[in-house]
Amino acid sequence: MHCSTMLRSPRTPKPSAVYHIVFDETLQPWKVDLVDGFGRQVRHDRRRVGRNTILTVRPSEAEHRAGDIADYRLVFRADRGITPGTEYTIRAQLETSDNPVPTIARRPR
């Protein structure tokens, strides 16, 4: 079982912007990938900070689109403990930065 969603930038970023997609613990039973509009994997970093999982991506100049994070999609794959046909909530926040290293501290629940 898998699903995908498109991403929108919270503001109009500069072409050199770095995006941090911050998931809380609701991501735990899922595996997530970042793909482009053609389904090709997008190069990104993934790290854990406390209960959060952070995907970081810097679109190339060619991929940059004003007001968007480029033509990227998140693809979620079920891991252990997921029941097919059940609706799940995965909480995430998209942040734009000039810094490729997230300065995100542990977020409260």
Comparison of pLDDT for 35 and 11, the residue scoring more: 35
Using alpha carbons only, what angle is made at residue 75 by residues 73 and 81, rounded to the nearest 5 degrees?
155
Q: Is residue 53 part of a domain?
A: yes
| Rounded distance between C-alpha atoms, residue 82 and residue 93, angstroms | 22
Q: Is position 7 within any domain?
A: yes
Summarised one tens digit per residue, pLDDT across range 50-104 is: 889 999 998 877 776 666 677 889 999 998 889 989 999 999 998 888 887 777 6
**How many domains does one find in the chain?**
1
In this predicted structure, the answer to whether residue 107 has a pLDDT above a threshold of 60 is: no
CB 2, CB 44: distance < 8 Å: no
Does 70 fall in a domain?
yes
Report the CATH number that the domain containing residue 60 is assigned in CATH.
2.60.120
The single-letter code of the amino acid at 11 is R
Whether 108 maps to a domain, the answer reads: no
pLDDT of 106 > 50? The answer is: no
The Cα–Cα gap between 105 and 52 comes to 9
Domain-located, residue 104: no
Residue 107 lies in a domain: no
Give the helix, strand, coil percentages of the chain, each rounded to 5.
Answer: 5, 45, 50
pTM here is: 0.75
Does the pLDDT of residue 33 top 60, yes or no? yes
